[in-house]
Structure 1
Amino acid sequence: MSPEALPTPVTKAGQEGLDALLARPSEALIGLDFDGTLAPIVADPELARAHPEALAALAALAPKVAAVAVITGRPAEVAVRNGGFADVPGLEHLVVLGHYGAERWDARSGEISAPAPHPGVAGVRGELPELLERLGASQGTWIEEKGRAVAVHTRRAADPQATLDLLREPLTGLAGRHGLIVEPGRLVLELRPPGMDKGVALTEFAREIGAGSVLYGGDDLGDLPAYSAVDRLRADGTPGLLVCSGSDEVTELRDRADLVVDGPEGVVHLLGALADRLGRGAP
């Protein structure tokens, strides 16, 4: 896809969302997941980095819209570092809503605001290794420390999906005993505090800036609440466009999306196409 070519949404609501974004870009909110959307999925999440062309596309688009929000389950600091978002000209309107919105980093100030950590995370962290050992799942799984949450990845296991299925119920029980919930994803189970999700984060930020239209792009189960939030905004009169960063591992988003693109590369091309179209001033 050339940077000038904008793909066509397959739904009427999606086309209306795109039309509103192009007609009134200064009112538009661009919401994006990080892993699998701006950054390719990798076996070790610590090595995840934004697509090589992502920063240029974001820097070209951000000054033309009301705001760009990266909404992620990662700590905000990690997403900023792995995305390379700090001190990039053109990204002054960027915010990173980390831990599903519990943390916030603003590009203008470079500061992170966050509440105190949930005490249950420390309890879960202490019990997880023994639980995985007892279940015979210590080999091939990997515990990701996320500060305000803990995630167990099974992508390296001999049978990743079977291991995920084995762990789902015990980890749900462990989380519940410590006042946490389990957030499933692409071969990962995350134990985190309740009360915040990407839908809440997206809705609150959209209201904060008075967004006149919303585009949200994601790739995983954790993005479904944001999809539902866009549906509610549309029902209330705010046009929206749902973009799926295509994956064969998760079909739920693909089935609900107005527009499916080819992974992070497709997302970057979409952002570049939007920036190009808005730069030419043509709806």
Structure 2
Amino acid sequence: MLRVPEHAVLALDFDGTLAPIVPDPAKARAHPGAVPALARLAPRLRAVAVITGRPAEEAVAYGGFAAVEGLGHLTVLGAYGAERWDAATGEVHAAPPPPGVAAVRAGLPPLLAELGAPEGTWTEDKGRALAVHTRRTADPDGALALLREPLAALAARHGLIVEPGRMVLELRPPGADKGAALREFVREKTARAVAYAGDDLGDLAAYGAVEELRGEGVPGLLVCSSATGTGESVPELAARADVLVPGPEGVVAFLEELAEELSGA
């Protein structure tokens, strides 16, 4: 990336990478240093992308991306690439959600009641997906174990899949993931180098895309954002990462260091 920054794509997850994980996802906000660091980097790179399961418009609002100068090369790929916001236009483009999402939305409340979901279990409606969180329960791992198979069966009946994460099960359409979104973005930008930063199981697909691109001759860098700084929270990412950083604060420090090196290049 340092050798050909004008041909490089930098892509990042949002929650847990640019924004600290919080009990209520609606209160998530980007680390204060994230946008300034991206604003310094964006003009020096081919493009910067935030790839998230959140709706694109929501990620833009929570990230504070819309009101900052210098982010003209920033794109937010929401709903795993099904929605797109470009800083250059300020517009969101999105395909209609598949019908299975509405069916699962209607079926989740009675199923959770039938299963006796523990107190603190709650559902986040992402528009094109629904995420069932157990972080607020007394036993988050036990709640996940209780819900995993019934939610997978509900999703399968309506043509959806279940994406596991830390204390969350997300029911969403198949075929859309961060890896597919990243590969398409890199192809669109004809990038000759790529870096990706993520923190959770949903980022494994993007890691896989970077590894595949490496096999095609495109240099790639993998960054793991970990609350502990050592990656124990998601060992699958840490084992494959080139760089481990301590959460969003560490990601921002990494971005600032990269911007400093490129400014002197």
Q: TM-score interval w.r.t. the shorter chain?
A: over 0.9
Number of residue-to-residue matches in the alignment: 261
Unaligned runs of 5+ in 2: none
Given candidates 165, 181, 189, the residue that maps to 1:201 is 181
Whether contact under 8 Å (2:75, 2:84) holds in the other structure is: yes
SS at match of 2:252: helix
Cross-structure match for 1:100? 80
Structure 1 runs (4+) deviating above 6 angstroms are none
Q: In structure 2, how many angstroms separate the alpha carbons of the residues matched to 1:67 and 1:138?
A: 43
Query: Is it true that 1:277 corresponds to 2:261 in the alignment?
Result: yes
Q: TM-score, normalised by structure 1?
A: 0.91
Flag the structure with more relative contact order, 1 or 2, with Cα contacts below 8 A and sequence separation at least 6. Answer: 1
SS at match of 1:155: coil
Cross-structure match for 2:115? 135
Tell me whether 244-253 or 44-53 shows the greater mean CA deviation: 244-253
Cross-structure match for 1:80? 60
The AA in structure 2 aligned to 1:136 is: G
Given candidates 18, 43, 46, the residue that maps to 1:66 is 46
Structure 1 residue 87, shift from structure 2 partner:
2.8
Whether contact under 8 Å (2:51, 2:77) holds in the other structure is: yes
Query: Is it true that 1:160 corresponds to 2:144 in the alignment?
Result: no
Query: Is it true that 1:210 corresponds to 2:190 in the alignment?
Result: yes
Q: In structure 1, how many angstroms separate the alpha carbons of the residues matched to 2:220 and 2:66?
A: 28
SS at match of 2:2: helix
The AA in structure 1 aligned to 2:247 is: G
Query: Is it true that 1:262 corresponds to 2:246 in the alignment?
Result: yes
Q: TM-score, normalised by structure 2?
A: 0.97
Q: What are the residue-to-residue correspondences of 1:1-283 with 2, within 5 Å?
A: 21-137=1-117, 139-247=119-227, 248-281=232-265
Q: Percent identity?
A: 66
Structure 1 residue 249, shift from structure 2 partner:
2.5
Structure 1 residue 138, shift from structure 2 partner:
5.1
Structure 1 residue 165, shift from structure 2 partner:
1.1
Deviations 1:144-200 (CA, angstroms, capped at 9, x unpaired): 010111100000011001101111100000000011011111110000111110000
Whether contact under 8 Å (2:118, 2:137) holds in the other structure is: no
Whether contact under 8 Å (2:131, 2:171) holds in the other structure is: yes
Structure 1 residue 229, shift from structure 2 partner:
0.3
What is the CA RMSD across the aligned residues, in angstroms? 0.8
The AA in structure 1 aligned to 2:240 is: R
Whether contact under 8 Å (2:226, 2:244) holds in the other structure is: yes
Whether contact under 8 Å (2:20, 2:30) holds in the other structure is: yes
The AA in structure 2 aligned to 1:171 is: L
Whether contact under 8 Å (2:118, 2:143) holds in the other structure is: no
Q: In structure 2, how many angstroms separate the alpha carbons of the residues matched to 1:159 and 1:146?
A: 24
Q: In structure 2, how many angstroms separate the alpha carbons of the residues matched to 1:202 and 1:255?
A: 20
Cross-structure match for 1:6? none
Cross-structure match for 1:14? none
